[in-house]
Structure 1
């Protein structure tokens, strides 16, 4: 599941249509390019009041000189709203730097009209979480490209499936075999160590 969270001051993203259009652009990126079910894509807009939003110890946005004549001692333009974005990937991870870099370029293209062109400062980061710590509706999601994965994509919702249709039974057997192999390897290593 991609999870995008936009942390922004109250004056940014005020128009519901702007938020809807941005969320749709993000969803389309995953749905059309990565063939993820659209319902996997979560986009949240989290308003942060200016008195709770500090960049470099300075409230953003804020005026350079307040009503009492104090300066905020910042070298940056602090009157510009700052947008902080976190992106979390669970359903799919990047297998190559080329794929990752191409994705980041696509993210920049999507964000530009909504953030950069609006005159906001911004920053984002992306994390990848291991798939084994993720469930949807209490189910381990099907593996990418499996029969069940394609069904979730087609229906745009989570539905029960057989483990073999989701590519999960093979995965469980492979992991069990790997664990058994690791145990045997540890036993052999212990025997060899005892002989030394």
Structure 2
């Protein structure tokens, strides 16, 4: 499960922008075989009076925290490619709008999560493919 927390200035994104951003995020992960419902994007509007960088208020920064839970990789080249691909995904919603952006990716141990009380199936397994086809967890 990728979980994206997108902290952004008030008014930076319309409802349509948020939906498009979430769809682009989802498309990225379903492209590597994850079920749609694994992908969660949460948008957090932060007023300038509550968003500080270096002790100074900012009204033009987007800070993204990505939590990877369903998939991890230890290969440094794959990690670099994935990070660059995530950055490229964000450009339309950050750089192209004149916003400053920062992000990082955390990896949660795979044995520390459940969905609807179920242990997720092994990555790439037939059971996971069934979850993707049904777009829901299946006991």
Which one has more relative contact order, counting CA pairs under 8 Å at least 6 apart? Answer: 2
Q: Where in structure 2 are there 5+ consecutive unaligned residues?
A: none
Match of 1:11 in 2: 11
Match of 1:87 in 2: 66
- 1:46-99 CA distance string (max 9 Å, x none): 0111111111111112xxxxxxxxxxxxxxxxxxx1111000001010131121
1:75-154 matched pairs, under 5 angstroms: 81-154=60-133
Q: Where in structure 1 are there 5+ consecutive unaligned residues?
A: 62-80, 161-196
After TM superposition, what 4+ stretches of structure 1 lie above 4 angstroms from structure 2? none
SS of 2:128 mapped into structure 1: helix
2:14 paired with 1:36: no
- Whose radius of gyration is greater, 1 or 2? 1
Q: TM-score, normalised by structure 1?
A: 0.69
Tell me, in whole angstroms, the C-alpha distance in 2 between the residues paired with 1:113 and 1:150. 30
The number of equivalent residue pairs is 139
RMSD, aligned α-carbons: 0.9
Higher strand proportion (structure 1 or 2): 2
Tell me, in whole angstroms, the C-alpha distance in 2 between the residues paired with 1:16 and 1:109. 21
Q: TM-score, normalised by structure 2?
A: 0.96
